[in-house]
Amino acid sequence: MQWLVDSFEAIRDFIELGGPILRWIAVTIFAMWVLIVERMIFFRTSMKALTAEVQNSWEARPERRSWNAHQIREAMISKVHMAANRQIPMIQTLVALCPLLGLMGTVTGMIKVFEVMAVSGSGNVRAMAAGVSQATVPTMAGMVGALSGVLLVTLLTRRAAREVEFLEDSLTMDH
């Protein structure tokens, strides 16, 4: 149980080291990962059920060659496409937001360094070090958050496209 307390203390110290912007970065990364995990669970569970439902509905149609049937097929594919791509634009936005928040942390940290330099001159290295850490830690955290999200949002986008393409191929126009 002590390792859990030590872990929380280390995280708290890290967030304090990075300043107030690091809290926003942490919230952004947490929200991004919640959405990523939700999409992963969706593809493993609900997507299969939705695809099977659409395929069964299409196969139950007596005729599949008319213009009307073609429009119904397109609507079914569109429904699956929308379900597969839900939340992906939000994840992409959060991925793009991470380095921007890191940059904002850099700017606020450098402002702190310049304030220390203005008040005490460039000789007070300890006071400047706090500002430098507030400038570098959020940048690193924003980049790590963005990099972790970029790979997974790419995989999720490809998976969504693949699922929709597979459905398009399986809904045949014969009969």
DSSP single-letter state for residue 65: -
Q: What's the residue count for the chain? A: 175
Termini Cα distance of the chain: 65
User: CA 100, CA 139: separation in Å to the nearest integer?
Assistant: 9
Cα 147 to chain centroid distance, Å, stands at: 10
Count the helix, strand and coil residues of the chain and give each as a percent rounded to the nearest 5: 90, 0, 10
Domain layout of the chain by residue ranges: 2-170
Instruction: Report how far residue 7's alpha carbon sits from residue 125's, in angstroms, rounded to the nearest whole number.
Output: 29
**pLDDT at site 79:** 95
Structure tokens at 59: 């196969």
What amino acid occupies position 52?
A
Q: Which of 80, 88, 60, 97 is nearest to 156 (CA)?
A: 88
Per-residue pLDDT of the chain (175 residues; tens, 9 = 90+): 888 888 888 888 888 877 888 999 999 999 999 999 999 999 999 999 999 999 999 998 888 888 999 999 999 999 999 999 999 999 999 999 999 999 999 888 888 888 877 787 766 777 777 778 778 889 999 999 999 999 999 999 999 999 999 999 988 776 5
CA 153 – CA 39 distance, rounded (Å)? 10
